[in-house]
Amino acid sequence: MPVTLSPVFQRITVLTDLAMQGRRAYTQTWLNRELSAIVENTQNRHGKAGQYRAVSENYLKLLVNYTGETPPPGSSLRCVPVSLHDGGDGETLDAIAVRISG
């Protein structure tokens, strides 16, 4: 006997998909625009040097690529989101960004 989804679960699935599409579209509007961000964590899940997590002034969750000295958590910086994050690695990030100052 095939398992059918309840109407409530179907609505949840549709609304979740719409929310994800909206978040992705919103993030895309900020690509290649300079933003302020606050450093959250200087070590990402994979421990890669040259990357850290930050949250932008408009609440985008960013993985920031950088060269030079690592900024301490809580510090402010300027960055430019350059591409959408695909989420394939399990991270809940919106975009990949490049640090330009701070």
For every residue of 35-49, DSSP letters joined together read EEEEEEESS-TT--T
Q: Which amino acid is present at 78? A: R
Give the domain range for residue 53: 7-101
Cα 70 to chain center, whole Å? 19
83 touches 94 (CB < 8 A): no
In a domain, residue 2? The reply is: no
- The model carries a pTM of 0.77
Q: What is the pLDDT of residue 46?
A: 52
pLDDT computed for residue 15 by the predictor: 93
Query: Which of the residues in the chain have pLDDT under 70?
Result: 1-3, 42-49, 87-91, 102
Has residue 1 been placed in a domain?
A: no
Q: Give the H/E segment covering residue 80.
A: strand 76-84
Residue 65 resides in a domain: yes
Amino acid in the structure at residue 75: S
Q: Domain tally for the chain?
A: 1
CATH of the domain at 36: 2.40.50.140
Q: Is 47 left (phi over 0), alpha (psi -120 to 50) or beta?
A: left
